[in-house]
């Protein structure tokens, strides 16, 4: 402790930086609390007597005699550490300062983000394929495309591009959710809920204008009901729910919005006459990558991330989303903060 | 030589637009929306080549390939793997001799025609 005073060690603990001071004779002089916690996670105890013991625990060789410092990444017992070592001379004595930083959480976060990006890129490539085919057909064989086929091809392209735009916006939010920065970007404000649902409905109806079955969307939300929400993000959530209701429906889709105010909250309900989700799968709908085991689901190129995203982003808006389903259809309930501006 | 190509893909938009492209270059196409359906159509229709998606529910492209390879009649049908997966995904898989090439989604018409010519060298497209 002589050369690393308590205040300095506390500061390093607050930075989650593990520190050990080793004498020129390889004797362990001091360890801070973070380093002890790291050792407990790696080897089950914090009993180390020398620098060599420490390096065995980390699974790295001693610092080579000709080196004055090094920096290594190591993975002892499933932990990911960055270990920096530096020789020093203080009051004519030789010391080795060892710093260790736990990167396990960061690595897991990076892996999770990589997986999300990779999954979404797969879906984006799949979505682009029919659009690219459609464009090729129009450019190369404009006279060979029948009017009916042309309408279908334009419809496909519009819907795919609409969905791609939504996924790219979601991808930006995935990144912000992972980095913990999403709170800085969410901008809740006073919005008329009926108008917001109309905007989502119009956006969807435009995207599915060549849909082969008529789609009915009823907005039964009372006028002058105001929610305190991030408009852009709630719109994207509603558009995703609407598209699910249309795509996962065997009949002519019928979607009904209703809402009621309860104190400082608004309960927004969305019911549909879609295929619903089996009771045993209902608890999984908000899990990342969930896709229901229904043949109709696999005819649609979904991302399996829309509902996961919806719950994540609504939680950050002080809102909640719940789901129930029966063979007659699904009910999503959004509990959002009311605005009394 | 003209040819009939079996498109096996669970995404109906990809099947629809790819079959339209094939029609424009003088090819006939059959469409199957799942691995199981594709296998059954391969048995009954004996297509000249199969455009086979990898990521499909229930029976994926690799399982379809295994089943094709176990049937001496079907093992001879050239297969073009058809996927939006990253290239490295294919590295860990044994490539059976029936796989002639891999067509990555999204693709250009030239890439589709090149893949078909590799699978069917006598094809005139």
> Which chain A residues are within 8 Å of B113, Cβ to Cβ?
none
Partner residue opposite A126 with nearest CB, options B11, B24, B58: B11
Chains A–B, number of C-beta pairs less than 8 Å apart: 74
Q: Which helix H or strand E contains A18, and what residues bound it?
A: strand A17-23
Look at residue A330 and give its three-state secondary structure: strand
Q: Which two tokens stand for residue A78?
A: 């499933």
Sheet holding A81-90, edge to edge: A28-31, A17-23, A93-102, A81-90, A69-74
Write the CB contacts of A251 (distance below 8 Å, at least 6 apart in sequence).
Answer: A213, A273
Euclidean distance between CA atoms A268 and A322, whole angstroms: 10
Q: Which of A261, A267, A268, A293 is nearest to A279 (CA)?
A: A293
> Which chain A residues are within 8 Å of B7, Cβ to Cβ?
none
**Does ipTM exceed 0.90?**
no
CB contact under 8 A, B11 and A299: yes
CB contact under 8 A, B24 and A137: yes
Q: Which two tokens stand for residue A96?
A: 């080795």
What per-residue confidence (pLDDT) applies to A120? 80
For the whole prediction, is pTM greater than 0.80? Answer: no
CB contact under 8 A, B17 and A299: no
Q: Which residues of chain B have pLDDT under 50?
A: none
> Which chain A residues are within 8 Å of B58, Cβ to Cβ?
298
Nearest chain A residue to B53 by CA distance is: A126
**For residues B108 and B99, is the Cβ–Cβ distance under 8 A?**
no
Partner residue opposite A130 with nearest CB, options B13, B85, B109: B13
Query: pLDDT in tens for each of the 341 residues of chain A?
Result: 455 666 677 777 776 789 999 999 999 988 888 999 999 989 888 888 899 999 999 999 999 988 899 999 899 988 889 999 999 988 889 999 999 988 887 777 777 777 778 878 888 888 899 999 999 998 999 888 888 888 888 888 899 899 989 988 988 898 888 888 899 999 999 999 999 999 999 999 999 987 778 999 999 999 999 999 999 999 999 999 999 999 888 889 999 999 999 999 999 999 999 888 888 888 888 888 777 766 555 555 566 788 999 999 999 999 999 999 888 899 999 999 999 76
Q: Which two tokens stand for residue A128?
A: 């682009």
What per-residue confidence (pLDDT) applies to A5? 66
Q: Identify the bridge partners of residue A83 per DSSP, sorted by sequence position.
A: A72, A100
What per-residue confidence (pLDDT) applies to A146? 83
CB contact under 8 A, A122 and B84: yes
What per-residue confidence (pLDDT) applies to B43? 96
What per-residue confidence (pLDDT) applies to A296? 56
> Which chain B residues are within 8 Å of A131, Cβ to Cβ?
106
Euclidean distance between CA atoms B70 and B93, whole angstroms: 17
**For residues A116 and A179, is the Cβ–Cβ distance under 8 A?**
no
């Amino acid at each position: 402790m002589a050369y690393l005073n308590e205040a300095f060690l506390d500061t390093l603990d607050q930075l989650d930086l593990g520190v050990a001071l080793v004498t020129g004779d390889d004797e362990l002089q001091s360890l801070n609390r973070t380093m002890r916690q790291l050792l407990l996670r790696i080897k089950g105890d914090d009993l180390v007597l020398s620098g060599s013991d420490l390096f065995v625990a980390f699974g790295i060789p001693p610092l080579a005699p000709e080196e004055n410092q090094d920096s290594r990444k190591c993975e002892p017992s499933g932990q990911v550490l960055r270990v920096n070592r530096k020789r020093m001379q203080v009051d004519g004595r030789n010391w080795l300062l060892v710093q260790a930083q736990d990167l396990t959480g960061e690595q897991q976060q990076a892996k999770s983000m990589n997986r999300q990006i990779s999954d979404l890129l797969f879906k984006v490539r799949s979505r682009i394929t029919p659009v690219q085919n459609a464009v090729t057909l129009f450019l190369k064989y404009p006279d060979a495309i029948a009017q009916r086929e042309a309408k279908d091809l334009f419809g496909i392209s519009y819907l795919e591009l609409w969905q791609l735009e939504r996924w790219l916006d979601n991808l930006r939010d995935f990144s912000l959710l992972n980095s913990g920065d999403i709170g800085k970007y969410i901008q809740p404000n006073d919005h008329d809920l009926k108008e917001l649902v109309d905007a989502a409905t119009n956006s969807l109806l435009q995207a599915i204008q060549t849909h082969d079955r008529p789609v009915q969307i009823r907005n039964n939300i009372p006028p002058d009901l105001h929610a305190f929400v991030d408009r852009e993000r709630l719109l994207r959530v509603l558009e995703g729910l609407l598209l699910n209701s249309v795509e996962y429906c065997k009949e002519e889709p019928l979607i009904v919005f209703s809402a009621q105010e309860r104190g400082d909250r608004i309960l927004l309900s969305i019911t549909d006459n879609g295929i619903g989700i089996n009771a045993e799968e209902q608890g999984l709908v908000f899990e990342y990558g969930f896709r229901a085991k229904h043949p109709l689901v696999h005819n649609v190129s979904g991302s399996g991330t829309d509902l996961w995203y919806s719950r994540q982003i609504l939680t950050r808006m002080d809102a909640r989303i719940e789901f129930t389903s029966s063979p007659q259809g699904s009910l999503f309930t959004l509990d959002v903060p009311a605005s009394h501006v | 030589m003209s040819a009939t190509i079996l498109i096996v893909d669970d995404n109906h938009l990809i099947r629809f637009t790819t079959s339209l492209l094939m029609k424009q270059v003088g090819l006939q196409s059959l469409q199957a929306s799942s691995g199981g359906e594709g296998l059954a159509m391969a048995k009954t229709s004996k297509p000249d080549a199969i455009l086979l998606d990898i990521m499909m529910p229930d029976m994926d492209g690799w399982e379809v390939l295994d089943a094709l390879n176990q049937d001496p009649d079907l093992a001879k049908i050239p297969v073009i793997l058809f996927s939006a997966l990253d290239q490295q995904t294919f590295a860990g898989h044994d490539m059976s001799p029936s796989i002639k090439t891999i067509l990555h989604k999204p693709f250009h018409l030239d890439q589709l025609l090149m893949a078909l010519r590799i699978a069917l060298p006598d094809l005139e497209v």
